[in-house]
């Protein structure tokens, strides 16, 4: 019925020394389980800029699937920004 957007943007808040230890994956995994268990949500989507390979790896490890047809240019970024092209991944309840 509803669509939720997952974000681990703030995970960077913890500092670079904590990256690569599985924290973002663990936190997002718990958030996904909590969302499907407690809300009438059929799909969770996650976005990042195209070249953010670390973030994309986290999405893929979690089971998110990339759907190129839903990729988009971020409407709030200048056309010249390297972060303009965004990718969209989705995770559907029950696969
Ligand atoms: C993205 C971010 C939140 C990931 O957090 P994290 O706790 O380091 O993530 P995890 O440790 O759970 O997983 C990272 C995975 O990416 C992999 N990875 C790291 N750099 C990579 C790269 N350049 N290309 C591909 N994979 C990469 C790691 O090896 C790891 O995978 P593995 O467990 O199979 O080895 C963190 O890097 C960050 O805060 N980055 C800056 C801000 C940002 O980009 N936020 C996201 C905006 S959408």
* 36: CATH: 3.40.630.30
Whole-number Å distance between alpha carbons of 31 and 66: 19
Q: 8: CA distance to ligand 1 center in Å?
A: 10
Q: Which pLDDT tens digit goes with each residue over 65-83?
A: 999 999 999 999 999 999 9
36 lies in which domain range? 2-92
* Residue 89 beta carbon below 6 angstroms from any ligand 1 atom: no
If pLDDT is split at 50, 70 and 90, which confidence band does 5 have?
low
- Which of 29, 53, 57 best tests ligand 1's pocket when mutated (most atoms within 8 Å of CB)? 57
* pLDDT confidence of residue 87: 97
Could you identify the atom of ligand 1 that is nearest to the CA of residue 46?
48
For the chain, the distance separating the N- and C-terminal CA atoms, rounded to the nearest angstrom, is 16
Cβ burial of 75 (10 Å; 0-12, 13-18, 19+) is exposed
pTM recorded for the entire structure: 0.90
* Count: domains in the chain: 1
- Which of 6, 17, 20 best tests ligand 1's pocket when mutated (most atoms within 8 Å of CB)? 20
């Amino acid at each position: 019925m509803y669509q939720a957007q997952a974000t681990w943007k703030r995970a960077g808040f913890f500092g670079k020394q904590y990256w690569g230890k599985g924290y973002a994956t663990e936190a997002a995994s718990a958030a996904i389980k909590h969302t499907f268990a407690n809300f009438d949500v059929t799909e969770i989507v996650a976005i990042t800029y195209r070249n953010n390979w670390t973030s994309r790896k986290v999405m893929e490890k979690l089971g998110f699937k990339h759907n190129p047809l839903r990729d988009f240019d971020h409407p709030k970024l200048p056309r010249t920004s390297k972060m303009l092209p965004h990718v969209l991944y989705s995770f559907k309840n029950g696969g």
